[in-house]
Structure 1
Amino acid sequence: MHIENITLHQYRNYKDLALTFSPKINVFIGENAQGKTNVMEAIYALAMTKSHRTSNDKELIAWNEEYARVEGTISRKYGSFPLQLVITKQGKKTKVNHLLQSKLSEYIGQFNVVMFAPEDLNVVKGSPQFRRRFIDIEIGQISSTYLHELMQFTKILKQRNQFLKNAKYKKTDPVLLEVYTTQYVLSAAEIIHRRFLFMTLLQKWAARIHTSISRGKESLVIKYKSEKEITAQSTVEEIAAVLTTRLKEVEQRELERGVTLIGPHRDDLQFLVNDYDVQVYGSQGQQRTTALSLKLAEIELIKEQTQEAPVLLLDDVLSELDDYRQSHLLNTIKGEVQTFVTTTSVEGIEHATIKEAKMFHVEQGTVTEDISLKEE
């Protein structure tokens, strides 16, 4: 799988931009704040319908404009087809092969990407919400049904929370709470079950990759942390039974606080390196190795599930990795994974993969193919 070209219109600092890419590696070189990451973000947005940097879609629209449009041609094993994403201040519209998509969940998964940016270290050392977002994004790329289930869960959670909030200030019908809870438990159990299945698959790849990067010195174990009675072997029905019991136990606290206290929106991931929690006890190098292992594992998992390699987006991360981790990453992608790299300079990156890349120079929102660097 690769993206052949992209066209931006009124996207961030680009009024109009059209680029054609190499199916192997593409490098965007330029100083900071020139627009390199905006190109990377646009490729990501074309795949995922949203930015990796902001949750406010309006920020993607150029100043004083009403909409932004991103278009690209995607090549997959069954042929090439166009994708289109239009972002307005009222919402988003997507097209696959010129056909308007009624649901975003039907659009996502047409074009698979793995993004690795400095902020991805937050998956390892940041708050639980980063890790939950990581899980949901990656499962969503390989399963449109999961995205649909997640949207349903979010809707039911919002309704239940609104009921609990209202119950703080006025008497409410306990039977209605029971109805909301029953709906909530069924939806939450499906989400937790799917996440456990996904993390089991990801663990298989991440453990192997982490051992290789650490030259056999470290072992990585990823744990999905839900209610303690729930395990990777639990069925959906068993998960639902645990959630029902736990919700009954915390019902009074929920009514007092006006919020749902148990469920997938409270779950977390734990990364253990040689049996130590890397978030708490890991060195910066171990945290980076864990983040890199996760990203490379994502590539392998998507390949396994879709029979095609996703596109890899490396936004200003090569400089964050030491020579060994850098080489391991570039060796992994060589020749098989279309890759996009942003960097201020290619000096110090001594690797044949980079030297074979298509180079683009970015300056003040202008992108030009850098023929001189290519010839050198």
Structure 2
Amino acid sequence: MRLRELVLDRFRNYAALHLTFDAPVTLFVGRNAQGKTNLLEAMHALAFAKSHRTARDRELVQWGREVATVKGRVERDGGRSVRLEVRLAPKGKTVKVNGVEKRRLSEYVGHLNAVLFAPEDLNLVKGAPQHRRRFLDMAIGQVSPAYLHDLSAYLKTVAQRNQLLKMARTAGRPLDELLSVYDEQLAALAAKLLRKRLEFVGKLEGWARTIHAAVTQGAETLSLRYVSTVAMDAADGAMQAMEERVHEELVRLRPHERERGVTLVGPHRDDLAFFVNGYSVQTFGSQGQQRTVALSLKLAEIEFIREAVGEAPILLLDDVLSELDAGRQLHLLSVIQDRVQTFVTTTGVEGVDHALVRHAARYRVEQGQIEPEG
């Protein structure tokens, strides 16, 4: 797939902008704080109807304005064209596909698949578990609308159950009858999410292991493990078995949950662990190893999406070339070449010696103004 047009209206520091893209690789070059990342953020918003930098949609609207819009035209394989629109307003967010408003996010996400790689994605390896859960949810959600729907229902159920646990603690009553109803709902939804996550991690590991071995010239073997609050593995993937195990844990831990007022079991508490040659990268890995694992995961995500939907996603590289050494740069650019439409932000490419960069479309970004170079 290709993003052919991007139209911004009062988005961040862009009052109005209309860009068209024909080249496989597009570079946005400029000093820091000029608006380069805002362009990739707009593309991310077009794909996911949300920012990767903030949970507050209001921050995406230009200062002093009430409404912002992001529009784009996506060309899918076979020449099919899809027009997308995200409108951010005080009363809420609306999304449209080919002019038709979609009520559910699961009906919108997936028309433009995108993989973002930014310096903060190092947190994917060494950061808190929520970074890895977000990675899982966004990657799976792009190719499975049902997963997004189940995730939304699951998180609402967790929030409602947490309220009930707090009420039980405050009132001094167990409220076991009501909690049992929520336990059944939560276990059923958790099992659906767990099965999808375990399947995803199994496929991702295959791609990431191959990529990681290539980057390290065969010196390192990467493996992944899904760390669940409920003891299970990919081989024990029967829905009923998962549901029963989650339900058993919810019942077993209910006294502790009432004391703390939170749900301690389920996908919202799970994690993803990485190992190189059998050792935990999170605990024992060097910064270079952690960067290589993060790079391998992002490149593996591209392959996962390509396999799942039959087309490669677009790739958004936010100032990462300067964060990678020459070897990792070369591998990243070689994977991209002629296969993935890529948008790169950078302060300069003088140290990057690759034909892909030399032949890329290039724009100079300065104080929210964009001019083509060359």
TM-score, scaled to structure 1: 0.97
**SS across alignment from 1:245:** helix
Higher mean C-alpha deviation, range 238-247 or range 156-165: 238-247
1:294 aligns with 2:297: yes
Structure 2: gaps of 5 or more residues: none
Equivalent residues of 1:314, 1:339 under 8 A apart: yes
Q: Deviations over 1:163-211 (max 9, x none)?
A: 0011111135321111111111111111111100111111110011001
One-letter identity of the residue aligned with 1:347: E
Runs of 4+ in 1 over 6 A off after TM superposition: none
Shift of 1:274: 0.7
Q: Distance in 2 between matches of 1:144 and 1:326?
A: 33
Equivalent residues of 2:228, 2:267 under 8 A apart: yes
Instruction: Give the structure 1 partner of residue 272 of structure 2.
Output: 269
Equivalent residues of 1:163, 1:177 under 8 A apart: yes
Higher mean C-alpha deviation, range 67-76 or range 82-91: 82-91
Q: Distance in 2 between matches of 1:248 and 1:44?
A: 40
Summarize the alignment of residues 1-376 of structure 1 with structure 2, pairs less than 5 Å apart: 1-78=1-78, 79-170=80-171, 171=173, 173-227=175-229, 229-234=231-236, 235-371=238-374
Q: Distance in 2 between matches of 1:84 and 1:3?
A: 13
Q: Distance in 2 between matches of 1:228 and 1:289?
A: 29
Q: What is the aligned-residue identity percentage?
A: 49
One-letter identity of the residue aligned with 1:194: K
Q: Distance in 1 between matches of 2:352 and 2:72?
A: 29
Shift of 1:77: 1.3
One-letter identity of the residue aligned with 1:116: F
Q: Distance in 2 between matches of 1:200 and 1:6?
A: 35
Q: Distance in 2 between matches of 1:26 and 1:349?
A: 15
One-letter identity of the residue aligned with 1:87: L
One-letter identity of the residue aligned with 1:317: V
**SS across alignment from 1:74:** strand
Equivalent residues of 1:3, 1:23 under 8 A apart: no
Shift of 1:90: 2.4
Q: Distance in 2 between matches of 1:243 and 1:309?
A: 35
Q: Distance in 2 between matches of 1:67 and 1:282?
A: 45
TM-score, scaled to structure 2: 0.98
Equivalent residues of 1:131, 1:268 under 8 A apart: yes
Shift of 1:310: 0.4
The alignment of Structure 1 onto Structure 2 pairs a total of residues equal to 371
One-letter identity of the residue aligned with 1:203: E
Q: Distance in 2 between matches of 1:363 and 1:19?
A: 15
**SS across alignment from 1:70:** strand
**SS across alignment from 1:250:** helix
**SS across alignment from 2:91:** coil
One-letter identity of the residue aligned with 1:122: N
Q: Distance in 2 between matches of 1:353 and 1:202?
A: 26
